[in-house]
Amino acid sequence: MEGKEEDVRLGANKYSERQPIGTAAQGTDDKDYKEPPPAPLFEPGELKSWSFYRAGIAEFMATFLFLYISILTVMGYSKSQSKCSTVGIQGIAWSFGGMIFVLVYCTAGISGGHINPAVTLGLFLARKLSLTRAVFYIVMQCLGAICGAGVVKGFQQALYMGNGGGANTVASGYTKGSGLGAEIIGTFVLVYTVFSATDAKRNARDSHVPIRGFDMGSLLDELQILAPLPIGFAVFLVHLATIPITGTGINPARSLGAAIIFNRKDAWSDHWIFWVGPFIGALLAAIYHQVVIRAIPFKNRS
């Protein structure tokens, strides 16, 4: 009994605190986590479930609010003659990242908090949701983005049309290839963060980490509400890096909504970049996490 009490006091860490370089702490055969089964490709039964439509409505509302707040922030920055009196690029980045943090927190338990077709595609490729649900989510996200940008234009049409409408374009001085690369890498960062923040194996392993003699298992369970934080912070950092290049898309619904409502030639000339780039980035992130990091195909084969 004395040994068991000591284990509890130390957080019941089943992994040795020091691991030789090149070995993984999860190298035990006893799994303390449950790997969710892959979602079916088609799941017609979802169409008869209210939770399916509720999740789609949640995605619509989240993307609507995301575009409304973020585009309003961009308009406030653009209208000022003195940029020192506005929130600046840092404020715009905080607006996008902060809204993602808030909205993922609000909708994660309902729809998973995707708010982004690229995230939805990445999770679909990892078999986290069915094709039925993925298509429905993407449609609702795009509709929500269009409505969000439309409300901003309705509030202040002259300001909206006179300052680019928040539409994504490749900035002068950069090539289309540079813009595409920025979108690919930026979306990779975001989708890889989503995979890492929602990884069942990571959460199970971290729950055994002892810190100063306290049992971190129950504490980390309570801190699961902070899972949206790294996702929002990833959006913030990517915006800081790529706003000068493309205005930062990394979300095809966000780019589509602003382009449709603004509806000028320059909003459409580079628009393909903001679909192709994020989808490639999501594909690469899914492959990297599922194949390289988690080795899921090799586990299933064995």
Q: pLDDT tens, 238-296?
A: 999 999 999 999 999 999 999 999 999 989 999 999 999 999 999 999 999 989 987 77
| Confidence band of 30 (pLDDT split at 50, 70, 90) | low
d(CA 192, CA 199): 10
| pLDDT score at 39 | 84
Quote the crossing angle between the two packed helices 117-125 and 252-262, to the nearest 10°: 150
Residue 6 has pLDDT above 50, yes or no: no
d(CA 217, CA 56): 33
Residue 25 has pLDDT above 50, yes or no: no
d(CA 148, CA 210): 45
Mean pLDDT throughout 9-27?
Answer: 41
CB 276 within 8 A of CB 114: no
| pLDDT score at 5 | 47
| pLDDT score at 38 | 82
d(CA 254, CA 95): 14
Where are the chain's structural domains? 41-301
Q: Round the average pLDDT of the chain to a whole number and report it.
A: 83
What does residue 214 show for φ and ψ, rounded to 5 degrees? -95, 150
Q: Looking only at Cα atoms, what is the longest distance across the chain?
A: 75
Residue 58 has pLDDT above 80, yes or no: yes
pLDDT per residue over 192-233, tens digit each? 999 999 887 766 555 444 444 444 344 444 445 678 899 999
CATH tag, 41-301: 1.20.1080.10
d(CA 254, CA 62): 12
| pLDDT score at 76 | 83
Query: Is the pLDDT higher at 81 or at 220?
Result: 81
| pLDDT score at 194 | 94
pLDDT per residue over 150-182, tens digit each? 999 998 898 899 888 999 999 999 999 999 999
| pLDDT score at 72 | 92
Query: Is the pLDDT higher at 190 or at 155?
Result: 190
